[in-house]
Amino acid sequence: MSASVTKLRVNNLKKVFPTHNGSVTALEGVNLDIKDGEFISIIGTSGCGKTTLLRVIGGLEPEYDGDIRLNGKEIKGPGADRAVIFQDHRLFPWYSIQDNISFGSKEKDSPEKREKVQHYLNLVGLNGFEKVFPGQVSGGMAQRASIARALVGKPDLLLLDEPLGALDALTRMYMQQELERIWKKESSTMIMVTHDIEEAIYLSDKIVIMSNRPGTIKRVIPVPLARPRDRAGYDFITIKEDVLKEFHLEAQHAFYYMI
């Protein structure tokens, strides 16, 4: 991981949605620098525009003001250099897991491509489920398949929109470990939107905190902890308190002390 090269630069981004009674400014003055190989989490209350930010970067909202560059190239729409993982897995129910994953790559069908699909099937632990339809597997497994679909095209930047939000608490923690393993193995750059603070601290190099109306970046908190991280460790808890403070949710201590 060459952690010094800028992968993605967001410069003075503004996104306005026109509605029939005036327009709504979803994002304003957003500046963000993401380095190659970084894992970034974006957290904020619902409606703060974090998903919009991710969608703009993904090219799903091509109309915006400002400048977004991936590897120095302006983002004008979706591209093979980015892949999005949605909260709901969004696999096509009429195709097998294997076929769904193969749609992540634009390559024509070939033995090499099939090998690649199999590689990512194995990577997310779905070997043996190649021919199964998405309706026949659990939510966690379907989300793994959608992760494999995103990885198979070898994107430069992986955008995750609350990818584990629909899973139960235990599956979720397990999938966080899996995500970390995949991120290390693929040495890819990932941006994840979440509202789970613990998830953000467990996975991220940096946590971007967004504020509401219009959505803008309030603070960036680095997480300089060694991996794998101990969710109950002192440093982990300290960072958690720091993040909670941003949302005015910190515990009221009986004693005040200064450092």
Partner 1 sequence: MNHDAVLNGVKVVSPDAGVRPRREALLTPGTRQTLLKIWDRLIGLVVPIILVVIWETVAQLNWVKPVFLPAPSVVLKTFINLLESGQFLGDIWISIYTVLRGFAWGLGLGLIAGTSAGMSRTVDRLFGPLLNAVRQVPPIAWLPLIVLWVGIGDFGKLVVLAKAVFFPVFLSTLQGIRSVSRDYVEVARVYEFSQVQLIRRVIFPAALPTIFAGVRLGAGLAWAYIVFAEMLAGRKGLGYILTRGQDLLQTDEVFVVIVVIGAIGFLIDYLLRHAESRLITWKKSFVN
Residues that bind partner 1 (CB under 8 A): 58-60, 78-80, 82-84, 86, 88, 90, 92-95, 103-104, 106, 133, 135-136, 149, 153
CB of 159 to partner 1, least distance (A): 9
Where does residue 110 rank: exposed (0-12), middle (13-18), buried (19+ CB within 10 A)?
Answer: exposed
Of the pair 61, 235, the CB lying nearest partner 1 is at: 61
Residue 11 tokens read as 């410069």
CB of 134 to partner 1, least distance (A): 8
CB of 122 to partner 1, least distance (A): 21
Of the pair 84, 210, the CB lying nearest partner 1 is at: 84
Nearest-angstrom CA–CA distance, 11 and 75:
12
Nearest-CA neighbor of 242 among 225, 221, 215? 221
Nearest-angstrom CA–CA distance, 118 and 120:
5
Residue 129 tokens read as 């489920």
CB of 104 to partner 1, least distance (A): 6
Of the pair 47, 62, the CB lying nearest partner 1 is at: 62
Of the pair 193, 200, the CB lying nearest partner 1 is at: 193
Residue 83 tokens read as 């892949």
CB of 223 to partner 1, least distance (A): 28
| Whether 246 contacts 218, CB under 8 Å | yes
Nearest-angstrom CA–CA distance, 41 and 54:
11
Of the pair 6, 87, the CB lying nearest partner 1 is at: 87
